[in-house]
Structure 1
Amino acid sequence: MTETKPSARLLLLGVIVMLNCAKATAGDTFVSDVTFMKKHTPIVLLQSGDAAVAVAPAYQGRVMTSTYDREAGPSFGWINRPVIEKGFLSAEEKEGKLEEHIYIFGGEERFWLGPEGGQFAIFFKPGTDFEFSDWSTPAAIDTDSYELVEQTKTSAKFKHSTELINHSGTRFKVGIERTVKLLRRQAASELLGVKLGDGLRMVAYETDNQITNTGDRAWRRDTGLLSIWILGMYNPSPQTTVVIPFKPGDDATLGPIVNDTYFGKVPLDYLKVEDSKMFFRGDGTRRGKIGITAKRSKGIAGSYDAAGKVLNIVTYNVQKAPNGFVNSMWELQDEPYAGDVINSYNDGSPEPGKPPLGPFYELETSSPAAALEPSETMTHVQRTYHLQGPAEQLNGLANQLLGVELDAIKEAF
């Protein structure tokens, strides 16, 4: 696995923090976050029983936050209130500010496209360097509003079309469809393959994300491919630990167990690797990122917040990847299709004396690289589950889904 250039990433996050100096404060409850957001942008609420999901059409159909109790429950998504409050800036207002590069609205599940870096990057225009000053998030995943085309009480479907150009000069015409669907308890139980007891409070949803080649030329490996990239920002706690089970085996066959060099080597007190699972802090106090490849992935990742007694699970549709997974490292790459399928990021100070961006932590999944013929479509489905309840029930679920006891998660660090 190709290593990243820590200096470029350090600069990116450092500048973001300095320019976004007002610390974003997440609301204590779902109600407070939704009330705030509705003052600044339209919000689509999906509801089933006590569970609810808040979706923002103007932010690419992004799931901003969710809860298992829409009247008094916690808000699971990290909300960047200062940026949302400012809204979109004019060209004059943008000059010299963060919003030249990205609008960081937050949100617990957002639609992105990759790769970010490398010769096939869509965040760097042709002829630019892999430096923060040249880095820019495409409007289609940053400032463009997606059209709400269908809505029910429990689902919302969005569509959008765009044209992108990568660092090598290849143009892509892309049709985007994204459906957010709230999952009822029975459906969630069947999809996970476990029994969800009546004592559990839960919210679960899936997003069906599709990209279509709407141009008249095939997308080819030698000129660059796109992928669907789904990222979630969650509220951290001092007692939050990410758990990623993986397939054990020889490195020569399966590759390295973990890529932990995105922002410099992750120290041992933040990453613990055992025979078939790894633990990573999600406390929002030290910046770092890890990733695992499709050969190692079991199609699932999770986290446990021991303070809130909440077990979080993320799954995705495992599918064949004949063209690998795009590589987002900020450099000309020897292996542009040797990227990760699951990532987790922990926010923190980019340098001594500087505040964190959030803080927040992330769980992310990616589709295979999409070598699409004209009119062909790739689909990436991600499902998110937040479960709260008696320790014995959560322990059983952690064992079944992640292969680990709750006590082992709590005592990992």
Structure 2
Amino acid sequence: MLMIRQAWRNIFRNIRRTVLTCTLIASSLVVIILVDTLINSMTGLMVKGITETIEGEAQIYHSGFRDQYDPELYISDPKSIISKLDSDDEIKTYASRVIVPSMIGSSYNSDGVVLYGVDAEKESNTSRLQSAIIEGDYLSGSDRELLLGRLIAEKLEVGIGDRIVITSSEINTNQMIQELFRVSGIVQFGPKELDEGFAFINLSTAQRMFNIGEGVHQIAIRFNNPELANSPDLDIYKTLPSDTLEVKGWLALQPGLGAMLEMTGLSTLIMGTILFILASLGVVNSIFMSIYERTYELAVSKAIGTRPSGIASLVLLEGLFLALISCFFGIIITFILGIFLQESGLSLGVMEFSGVAFPDNIPVKLTLDQYVNFPFYVVLLTLVAAIYPAIFAARIVPAQAVQKAL
């Protein structure tokens, strides 16, 4: 107890040095928590942007279809698959799609698009197609209605109610087909690739148009628990795959995104390491200055019988108190900033990264584990940084120290 009181008094012998050291450590703690929060928020938005836009959390498709998006590789009889999906408690919703590259033209221009035939009702629960409409109406089931991305609509110089001709080839026969549609809605997902390269019609219209009966190219899936989307233990990953059928979660569908998520974790670790090393250098400097100021006192203590372990423990206690004070104020500052950022978000401007459009204000949410884990690491690393000064103090030779002091 006496040693604890002595260590507490020692760190306040030089208030200015203690304040500067604690400020350095607390600032490092605040920065690493906020950076970790920002990275977590952005990666969360990236995953949601991928899974909620078009991809879904998992997909079922004919083997080889995603390699070149060959329209002839379609699921000719999806009824048995759909019945399994309906009976699976893990699955929240799904949407069947026909996907065919096509030419789309107006009176003013033409361009290539990926034409999606979608089930309007199921698609609204599986993707953001309905919520992405910025003008006009969603698909209602009418045979000639069409949704266009905002950028392709601008290129074709068309608006709501204008006529559009879709040119493609019939699956299996390769006969050229042309169909007339009217623009019923304009959609804006955010990523340029989607807004300038996609068009949507009703699923039944696409099936009739391409003469594939009830066939579909893809079934996008969302789960009741999105965190299980990539779990190999899910029933659909065990029972549905076959020689002609593939079932993959979003991480397998987007391996580049998975690698990027791993890199974000590594970048947080690197930044945290750099910040904590800088803070540790400040701790080492502060404790060494304190030791040099008390060289005579430490020498006398050792001369009258204080063990080296006792002196080392005293120095380590001083480092511990510095870390605890720093964490206390660092947590308070982070908590205040967290409340502000949770209400207003973090404004980085509208940007697009890896095919995902980020909003102007990125929502920020601090978690309990950040308030526990990072302060623990700060305390641990501060104690590690204090080991060398503690050993140095414990090895002081009383006679030499007193001679230098005099």
User: How does the TM-score come out when normalised to structure 2?
Assistant: 0.21
Q: Which has the larger radius of gyration?
A: 2
- Structure with the larger RCO, 1 or 2 (CA within 8 Å, 6+ apart): 2
The structure where helix makes up a greater share of residues is 2
The structure where strand makes up a greater share of residues is 1
User: How does the TM-score come out when normalised to structure 1?
Assistant: 0.21
